[in-house]
C-alpha cells in the first residue's frame, strides 16, 4: 500500500511538472532547478549569476525554504522578481508548489528562471518541477566524498558547480578525485569550479547559462 501511495504522489507530481514546463515553454522561460545541501551557497550563486547575466537575460527567481524569506529579500534587493515558497517542513519543492509560484511571477518578462530548491541531497531528485536543467552545488567544506554518499543526486544533474574553491588551500579537498568520482556517476554532467566570494569561475557559469538559454529558445 505504501509503495502505491508513493507512486501515486510521484505520478501526480510528474503531470503537474509537465504542465509547468509547457507553460514555461510557451512563455519562452528556461528554468533551472538548483539543488544542494544546506549552506552550499545556492543563494550566493544566484546573486552572482544575476550579476553576470544582467543585460543579457531577464532573470526571475523562486526561493524554496523550510521557513522565512531571508533569501528572497536578498534577491528582491537587487531588483529581480522573486517568489518565496516556504514548505513548512517538507524537505523539497514539488511541482504544485512551483505552479503556484509561477502564477505570481511576471513570466512575460523573464527568460531565465532560477529555482532554489530546499537544501537536501536526497528528496529533491525525485520531484520534477518543470525545469529544463537540473544543477547541483557542492561546496568544498562538505568534503570530496559526497558522490559516494549521495550518488543519486550526482547522477541526476545536468550541471555541477563546485563552490567555495577559495577555501581549497585550507581544506583537505581533492578536486581531481572529486571530479573523477562525478565522472564515474555522470560523465555527461558539465562541471564548474567557482567562488562566490572572489567571483572566480562565476562568469564562465553565467555565460554558459546565457548560451543554453538562447539555444533552447531557437
Q: What is the pLDDT of residue 89?
A: 79
52-68 confidence digits (pLDDT tens): 999 999 999 999 988 78
Does 2 score more than 80 pLDDT? no
Does 45 score more than 70 pLDDT? yes
Its pTM stands at 0.93
CB 81 within 8 A of CB 110: yes
Does 3 score more than 80 pLDDT? no
93-148 confidence digits (pLDDT tens): 999 999 999 999 999 999 999 999 999 999 999 899 999 999 999 999 999 999 99
Go through the chain and tell me how many residues it has: 218
**Which domains does the chain possess?**
2-216 (3.40.50.300)
156-173 confidence digits (pLDDT tens): 999 999 999 999 999 999
Q: What is the pLDDT of residue 90?
A: 86
Q: What is the pLDDT of residue 1?
A: 44
Using DSSP's 3-state secondary structure scheme, residue 109 falls into helix
Residue keyed to cell 517568489: 83
Does 218 score more than 80 pLDDT? no
Does 9 score more than 60 pLDDT? no
Residue keyed to cell 536578498: 74
Amino acid at each position: 500500500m505504501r509503495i502505491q501511495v508513493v507512486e501515486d504522489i510521484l505520478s501526480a507530481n510528474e503531470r503537474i511538472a509537465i504542465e509547468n514546463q509547457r507553460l514555461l515553454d510557451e512563455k519562452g522561460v528556461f528554468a533551472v532547478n538548483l539543488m544542494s545541501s544546506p549552506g552550499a551557497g545556492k543563494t550566493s550563486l544566484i546573486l552572482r549569476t544575476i550579476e553576470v547575466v544582467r543585460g543579457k537575460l531577464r532573470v526571475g527567481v523562486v526561493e524554496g525554504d523550510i521557513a522565512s524569506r531571508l533569501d528572497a529579500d536578498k534577491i528582491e534587493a537587487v531588483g529581480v522578481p522573486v517568489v518565496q515558497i516556504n514548505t513548512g517542513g517538507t524537505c523539497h519543492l514539488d511541482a504544485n508548489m512551483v505552479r503556484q509560484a509561477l502564477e505570481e511571477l511576471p513570466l512575460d518578462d523573464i527568460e531565465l528562471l532560477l529555482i532554489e530548491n530546499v537544501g537536501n541531497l536526497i528528496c529533491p531528485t525525485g520531484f520534477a518541477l518543470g525545469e529544463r536543467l537540473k544543477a547541483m552545488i557542492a561546496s568544498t567544506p562538505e568534503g570530496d566524498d559526497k558522490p559516494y554518499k549521495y550518488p543519486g543526486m550526482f547522477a541526476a544533474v545536468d550541471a555541477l558547480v563546485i563552490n567555495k574553491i577559495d577555501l581549497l588551500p585550507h581544506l583537505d579537498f581533492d578536486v581531481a578525485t572529486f571530479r573523477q568520482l562525478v565522472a564515474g556517476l555522470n560523465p555527461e554532467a558539465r562541471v564548474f569550479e567557482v567562488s562566490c566570494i572572489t567571483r572566480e569561475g562565476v562568469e564562465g557559469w553565467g555565460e554558459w547559462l546565457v548560451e543554453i538559454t538562447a539555444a533552447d529558445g531557437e
